[in-house]
Amino acid sequence: MTRDPDFDAVVIGAGLSGLYQAYRLREMGYRVLGVEASDDIGGVWHHNRYPGCRIDSESEVYGYFWNDELMQEWSWSERFAAQPEVLRYIHRAAEIMDIRKDFLFDAKVASAAFDEENDLYTIEFQQPYRAPVTARFVFSALGPLSTPQMPNLPGINTFAGESFHTANWPRDPDGFGPAPLDFTGKRVGVIGVGSTGVQTIQEMAKVAGHLTVFLRDPNWCTPLGNGPMAPERMDYIKANYEEFTAKCDASLAGFPHEFIQKDLFDVPQDERDATLEELYQGPGFSLWLGAYQDVLSDPAANRYVSDFVARKIRERVTDPAVAEALIPKDHGFGMKRVPLETGYYEVYNQDNVDLVDLHTTSITRVTPEGIETPEGLHELDVIIYATGFDAVKGSWNKIDIRGVGGISLRDEWDGGITTYMGMQCPGFPNFFMLVGPQSGATFCNIPRCSALAIDWLSDMMITAKESGVRRIEPEREAAESFTLYAGKLQSKLLLGQTNSWFTGINQNIPGRDKREVLLFVGGNPRFRAYCDDVKEHGYKGYVMS
Ligand code: N01
């Protein structure tokens, strides 16, 4: 006798994507349960409350474009909103969707196992007091950057001062921001200079008695261009949201920046230099995602822009040796995620800031007093680890996910990731991923692109409901063909030939030294076209029964 599931669908994760997916399913008449490991909604914005945390997307394009009520009601206070404001926005969105009541909190999923006889998943939790639940479909909205990664440093647990990972920052119990920690006058050490480290360092330099930055590979950083959001601009945005949606949908990564449809060397030098200058001073990812079309694929064009940004660093950092240490040597401009900054380079001109170049020395260990290098001990009161994440697949790997015949998703992925549009893996019927490996939303303005994926999946679920489908699974051949396509697109860009979290490299995780296809870097329009084609051809590549 077959068993009916407790729920039609379970959504794992109450971040931006999970909340919207749960809402769509509920509105379609599915009996849905949301489960969230933490005690509240917000995903990364709930956890990343480090000083300086803010979005690198223009505020107006970061959010729920589909929600007219919210879009008309909400006025951003800054052009690039800070973390507390983004979290407030998510809370307000959840209120409008009335979605909180559909979620169970402090419910950390330990395993999800497919029951072939009944076409459902049994989901078990880490908390012993939570009974397992069953669901026909599982939507995992775990986030590509949500499993914090600490460095492998000897003695890390011996430090006697305070230490924090940026993605696990203490919270203000009564508000949306960080706990009121006082770093004034303290000796602070920061490890990591990715987007997070850069934002943290800028803020710490303002208050720390002494700040020591432990720098391994520097990144190419460009100005953020933040400032207050003028009320007239906000009015214009509210009246013209379609214009912004269209701009994002037409762009490579869902931001309001488009590449110049010319090759760099086809433009006279005066003109190209003036353009690069304008883009450097422009907001957000103007230079990364808005320069000449060949900068991210042609090594010579890329070298030209890298040299341009290197000159900027030399102009802004007074000590030439420090400037050289801050200029990346292992990759060209835009081959890794470009951190956006506000006065970051000038921090290194301050008397209270020192840089320890880990290319000329190394961290031997953490001691109770601080961080030790062969030259001596850096005494510290606080250590901040801005060392990033077990990116993209980390959060899925932490759950024991079992498909047909008991196969493990983790084991499958160890042999190489194969997905169909980043949404599903062969052998795992009814298990969907939002912003997972190879999804178009991983190399994109996440709320914009994840909404596209959620809307697409929701349409498929409407079709499934109407025709009484109990089981949805991609054909292996279709998935292999998609993954091959994603791999080919990745190899055309210089970033596909560079070690970073984009390509799955992480020096802190054993075995993560080979590049893989974790992102779909072909761009938002291409990804959408692929998904639309699958849908228009009767969900080709899927077996539904
Ligand atoms: O993490 P990262 P992140 N010794 O992996 C260093 C998004 N984000 O949290 O490069 C010394 O980029 C490591 O050094 P190296 C955004 O997509 C968005 O900064 O391995 N250093 C690197 O410098 C971003 O890309 C926003 O040599 C060590 C750093 O730690 C993604 O999150 C804001 C080390 C890790 O950088 C991840 O960014 C912030 C060691 N042992 C982040 N181990 C918004 O815009 C690691 N490092 C919303």
Residue with tokens 């296809």: 517
- Please tell me the predicted confidence (pLDDT) of residue 108: 98
Instruction: Give 58-63's long-range contacts (Cβ < 8 A, gap of 24+).
Output: 58/255, 58/256, 58/283, 58/284, 59/229, 60/234, 60/237, 60/241, 60/244, 61/244, 61/247, 61/248, 61/254, 61/255, 61/256, 61/445, 61/448, 62/86, 62/445, 62/447, 62/448, 63/89, 63/93, 63/447
- Please tell me the predicted confidence (pLDDT) of residue 305: 98
Query: Is residue 479 assigned to a domain?
Result: yes
Most informative mutation of 53, 221, 337, 521 for ligand 1 (most atoms within 8 A of CB): 337
Rounded Cα distance between 489 and 496, Å, is 9
Q: Ligand 1: does its nearest atom lie under 6 Å from the Cβ of 194?
A: yes
Query: Is residue 293 assigned to a domain?
Result: no
Most informative mutation of 47, 87, 90, 195 for ligand 1 (most atoms within 8 A of CB): 195
Strand 370-373 relative to strand 340-341, pairing: unpaired
Which ranges constitute the DSSP H helices of 257-367?
A: 269-281, 286-290, 299-316, 320-326, 344-347
Q: Ligand 1: does its nearest atom lie under 6 Å from the Cβ of 286?
A: no
- Please tell me the predicted confidence (pLDDT) of residue 174: 85
Q: Which of 139, 190, 186 is nearest to 164 (CA)?
A: 190
- Please tell me the predicted confidence (pLDDT) of residue 259: 97
Residue ranges making up the domain that contains 142: 7-147+390-544
422: left (phi over 0), alpha (psi -120 to 50) or beta: left
Residue 420 contacts residue 437 (beta carbons within 8 Å): no
pTM exceeds cut of 0.85: yes
Query: Residue 465's domain is classified under what CATH number?
Result: 3.50.50.60
Query: Is residue 512 assigned to a domain?
Result: yes
- Please tell me the predicted confidence (pLDDT) of residue 315: 98
Which residue's alpha carbon is nearest to atom 13 within ligand 1?
A: 192
Rounded Cα distance between 545 and 540, Å, is 14
- Total of domains in the chain: 1
CA 301 to the chain's CA centroid: 27
Q: Ligand 1: does its nearest atom lie under 6 Å from the Cβ of 147?
A: no
Local structure of 314: helix, strand or coil: helix
- Please tell me the predicted confidence (pLDDT) of residue 194: 98
Residue with tokens 């761009």: 523
Residue with tokens 């950083």: 221
Q: Ligand 1: does its nearest atom lie under 6 Å from the Cβ of 55?
A: yes
Rounded Cα distance between 256 and 238, Å, is 15
Which residue's alpha carbon is nearest to atom 37 within ligand 1?
A: 388
DSSP string, 37-87: SSSSS-THHHH---TT-B-SS-GGGSS-TT-HHHHHH---SBSS-BHHHHH
Q: Ligand 1: does its nearest atom lie under 6 Å from the Cβ of 495?
A: no
pLDDT in tens, 326-354: 999 999 999 999 999 999 999 999 999 99
Query: Is residue 36 assigned to a domain?
Result: yes
Rounded Cα distance between 328 and 342, Å, is 19
Query: Is residue 250 assigned to a domain?
Result: no
Residue 483, classified by CB atoms within 10 Å of its CB into exposed (0-12), middle (13-18) or buried (19+), is buried
What is the position in ligand 1's atom list of the atom closest to the CA of 358? 11
Distance 219 CA to ligand 1 centre (A): 10
Distance 498 CA to ligand 1 centre (A): 15
Residue 519 contacts residue 442 (beta carbons within 8 Å): yes
Query: Is residue 178 assigned to a domain?
Result: no
Polymer length of the chain:
545
Q: Ligand 1: does its nearest atom lie under 6 Å from the Cβ of 388?
A: yes
Residue 267, classified by CB atoms within 10 Å of its CB into exposed (0-12), middle (13-18) or buried (19+), is middle
Q: Ligand 1: does its nearest atom lie under 6 Å from the Cβ of 373?
A: no
- Two tokens at 156? 């890390």
- Please tell me the predicted confidence (pLDDT) of residue 1: 65
Distance 197 CA to ligand 1 centre (A): 7
Q: What amino acid is encoded at 425 in this protein?
A: C
Q: Which residues pair with 376 in a beta bridge?
A: 373
Query: Is residue 290 assigned to a domain?
Result: no
Q: Which of 19, 3, 32 is nearest to 64 (CA)?
A: 19
pLDDT in tens, the chain (545 residues): 688 999 999 999 999 999 999 999 999 999 999 999 999 999 999 999 999 999 999 999 999 988 999 999 999 999 999 999 999 999 999 999 999 999 999 999 999 999 999 999 999 999 999 999 999 999 999 999 999 999 999 999 999 999 999 999 999 988 999 999 999 999 999 999 999 999 999 999 999 999 999 999 999 999 999 999 999 999 999 999 999 989 999 999 999 999 999 999 999 999 999 999 999 999 999 999 999 999 999 999 999 999 999 999 999 999 999 999 999 999 999 999 999 999 999 999 999 999 999 999 999 999 999 999 999 999 999 999 999 999 999 999 999 999 999 999 999 999 999 999 999 999 999 999 999 999 999 999 999 899 999 999 999 999 999 999 999 999 999 999 999 999 999 999 999 999 999 999 999 999 999 999 999 999 999 999 999 999 999 999 999 99
Max Cα–Cα distance, the chain, nearest Å? 77
Rounded Cα distance between 406 and 481, Å, is 24
Residue 408 contacts residue 401 (beta carbons within 8 Å): yes
Query: Is residue 38 assigned to a domain?
Result: yes
Q: Ligand 1: does its nearest atom lie under 6 Å from the Cβ of 447?
A: no
In 206-244, which positions are buried (b, 16+ CB within 10 angstroms) versus exposed (e)? eebebbbbbbbbbbbbbbbbbeebeeeebeebeeeeeeb
